[in-house]
Amino acid sequence: MAENDYALIVGLQNYPGLGDPKLGGPEFDALQFEKWVKCPNGGAVPADHIDRILSSDYIQPQLPIPPLRNTRPAEAEIVNVLYKLRDISMDNIQNGRGPRIGNRLYIYMSGHGISPTTFGDLTSEECALLMSDVDDSLKRVPRYHIAGNYVASWFSKNNCFAEVFLFMDCCRDNTQVPAVNMCFPPTGNSDETKRFLAYAAKPSRRAKEMIINGKPQGVFTRALLMALRGAAAVPDPKSPVQGYITFESLQSFLINNMRYLLDPQFANDPDIQEPNVRFYPDNSPKTVVIPAPVQSFPVTIEAIPGAVDDIVIYSSALKTIVQRLNAQDLPKVVALPREEYMIIAKTPDIVTIPLSVKGIEGAINQLCNYD
């Protein structure tokens, strides 16, 4: 168990002030992420180091709603958790132990979101989760959002953790604000902490949901959990059967594969949802997120007209033959790890056919909707 790791998980889907009181997926997504965080083969974070905030944890005002300010959770509920962590760091400093709280901090937030753009700042690297007591007239007011990048950066710059992960499954509607919500004073300049930041969409883009077994789930969270549960694992050079998920492989999986979970009706949408994923420092791509066995995925090898003898599946990365198949047995479903391959056949000329295993083969792909 990762005894020195911590997690903050937020799923908000009650927004009466925005005209659509209920989102479908944030709570389900938050609970699914919590399962991974707790799992011994996942984040392995101790239960008493996890703070979870859901809309259903709070008694909501009955309609017709009196003052919107009665809707919860609001800023204070989330900031209280952040200050609880900050207080641990401050106490450590006062007792001569330094600012370090633990090894790793996970922050997961899902709900309605914005890209808060300050005056004069035409491009925002920030993503902010809107609070449940917001309405359209209050989106520009800093206290009605939690700025994910600011929070993650604060814990990083103040050397509170060795690694900080931020995952945000929300829309990023451009919203001009006087300032982002600086729930902590802007202190710290450490560059020791490694950070992995992943947003469901790029600035100005919208996040979508998909229906899985009758339940709505964010497309980003679906891809993220597939990746963290092993789909993003790459082979350990010392033992190809074993593997691990790295900053680089997690980034690659999300950027290259999330689009395949979107409903085909959005394929030609110029504003198609694409994740925004990056890590710091730039020289940390091989940082291990978790060890994970290399998974295999079902792929159909189609018949090759005129093929004689065996055909081979050649690994472009490992430079080795990974399978031989009798040409007469095709088509056939085989299981292959996520990688680039080449199918080589004799017809009697030599034919080569590229094969890309994305790591989402066999995944459920149902209707996606704007949140």
Q: Per residue in 31-77, pLDDT tens?
A: 999 999 999 999 999 999 999 999 999 876 666 555 577 788 999 99
Burial of 181 per CB tally in 10 Å (0-12, 13-18, 19+)? buried
Counting as low any pLDDT under 50, the low residues of the chain are: 366, 368-371
Name the residue among 169, 115, 122 with its Cα closest to residue 147: 115
Answer yes or no: are the C-beta atoms of 268 and 289 closer than 8 Å.
no
- Which CATH fold would you assign to the domain 5-294? Rossmann fold (3.40.50)
DSSP 3-state percent helix, strand, coil across the chain (nearest 5): 25, 35, 40
Query: Element (H or E) spanning 77, and its range?
Result: helix 75-94
DSSP structural state of residue 235 = E
pLDDT of residue 206: 87
- The pLDDT, as a whole number, for residue 365 is 54
What is the sign, positive or negative, of the torsion defined by CA atoms of 258, 263, 266, 271?
Answer: negative
| C-alpha to C-alpha distances, 70 to 15, 36, 73, 143, nearest whole angstrom | 12, 32, 9, 15
Which pLDDT does position 30 carry in this prediction?
Answer: 97
pLDDT of residue 6: 98
Does residue 236 contact residue 244 with C-beta atoms inside 8 Å? yes
Full-model pTM: 0.91
pLDDT of residue 270: 66
Provide the residue ranges of all domains of the chain, joining segments of one domain with +.
5-294, 296-357
Task: For residue 299, give Cα distances in angstroms to 81, 225, 296, 334, 359.
Answer: 45, 21, 9, 5, 10
The Cα–Cα gap between 205 and 172 comes to 6
